[in-house]
């Protein structure tokens, strides 16, 4: 490569970096104006929450913006993290209609530092709760639905890009907490009772023990390596269940990268869990084809914790307050405690 061609190459690279910085700055200004929530992280780790709920047109996104340093140590603004809710997807192009683009696609930026994660995550949980409250206030029926012989709780669908690995991992851990709080306790007692050693229930092929093994194999937990590992960690006679599943060729989760990704504690930031809601990862999410929600994205659902003290939020967006109800108000149709 001669000197002239090399200088042209360097000049082209410099122009590309300039265009990238200009577009990133422009995207930040657009998101600050149109995104539902914008969390601004300053270099001194202070945060500012921008709520655009008063605008007539907003994009259902929760965005974290801050300062980025490129290879030449030039600072510019960029979108550090995005969470889409309802039908919006992070970092993707968003249309008003088929012909007009409202927000162009953005490129995922480098991961947040541990210090930034510690100050940003509580704000993200606050925004998710406010979105859930707003959505619930628009529902005519606020109770859970009865479907297929069981109650189905309803919430708000959110989408996370898997390149934001720390957030994806944290939401998967919250999904485990949801099942540990709502579904595992009763199922664990049922399994432990059927694994009790008796003369007629010898391991591993006793009638009661085999019934517990068949139940685990036929459940949705067997389809999720993460939930299967979480369940086996709290039941008694884990080795018996593992041996039976291995003989049934259904125990592959020990080699799963998802299990080590979620349960590995190395270099992990300890974050507080949400107090009033759960985050649930659906088990039937398609990975390819027409049913996929977004490429390289994971879909979760935010659900209220109904076992908390009955309360309602009347006007509290963006500054909502907890209202304690009287016994008469609790049974009023206009008040729907969680």
Q: Three-state SS for 156?
A: strand
Cα torsion 196, 199, 203, 208: sign: negative
36 burial level (CB within 10 Å; 0-12, 13-18, 19+): buried
152 burial level (CB within 10 Å; 0-12, 13-18, 19+): exposed
Q: Mean pLDDT, to the nearest integer, of 63-69?
A: 87
Contacts of 324 (CB under 8 A, 6+ apart): 311
Tens of pLDDT, residue by residue over 151-206, are: 777 888 999 998 888 899 999 999 999 998 888 888 888 888 887 765 555 555 57
Q: Which of the residue ranges 10-14, 38-42, 48-52 would you say has the lowest mean pLDDT?
A: 10-14
In the structure encoding, which two tokens stand for residue 297, read together?
């994205």
């Amino acid at each position: 490569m001669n000197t002239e061609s090399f200088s042209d190459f360097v000049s082209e690279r410099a122009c590309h970096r300039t265009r990238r910085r200009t577009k990133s700055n422009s995207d930040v200004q657009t998101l600050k104006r149109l995104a539902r929530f914008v969390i601004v992280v300053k270099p001194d780790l202070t945060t500012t929450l921008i709520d655009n709920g008063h605008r007539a047109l907003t994009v259902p996104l929760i965005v974290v913006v801050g300062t980025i340093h490129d290879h030449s140590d030039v600072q510019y603004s960029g979108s550090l993290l995005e969470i889409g809710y309802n039908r919006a997807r992070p970092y993707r192009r968003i249309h008003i209609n088929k012909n007009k683009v409202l927000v162009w696609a953005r490129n995922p930026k480098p991961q947040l530092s541990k210090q930034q994660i510690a100050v940003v995550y509580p704000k993200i949980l606050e925004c998710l709760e406010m979105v859930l409250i707003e959505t619930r206030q628009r529902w005519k029926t606020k109770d859970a639905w009865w479907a297929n012989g069981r109650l189905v709780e309803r919430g708000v669908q959110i989408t996370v890009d898997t390149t934001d690995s720390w957030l994806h991992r944290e939401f998967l851990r919250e999904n485990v907490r949801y099942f540990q709080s709502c579904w595992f306790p009763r199922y664990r007692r049922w399994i432990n009772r059927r694994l009790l050693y008796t003369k007629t229930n010898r391991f591993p092929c006793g009638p009661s023990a085999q019934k517990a093994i068949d139940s685990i194999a036929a459940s949705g937990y067997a389809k999720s390596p993460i939930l299967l590992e979480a369940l086996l960690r709290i039941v008694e006679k884990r080795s018996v269940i593992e041996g039976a599943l291995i003989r049934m060729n259904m125990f592959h989760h020990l080699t799963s990268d998802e299990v080590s990704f979620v349960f590995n504690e190395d270099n992990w930031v300890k974050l507080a869990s949400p107090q009033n809601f759960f985050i649930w990862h659906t088990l039937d999410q398609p990975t390819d084809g027409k049913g996929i929600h977004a490429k390289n994205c994971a879909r979760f659902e935010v659900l209220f914790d109904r076992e908390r003290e009955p309360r309602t939020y009347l006007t509290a967006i963006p500054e909502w307050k907890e209202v304690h109800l009287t016994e008469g108000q609790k049974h009023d149709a206009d008040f729907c405690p969680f």
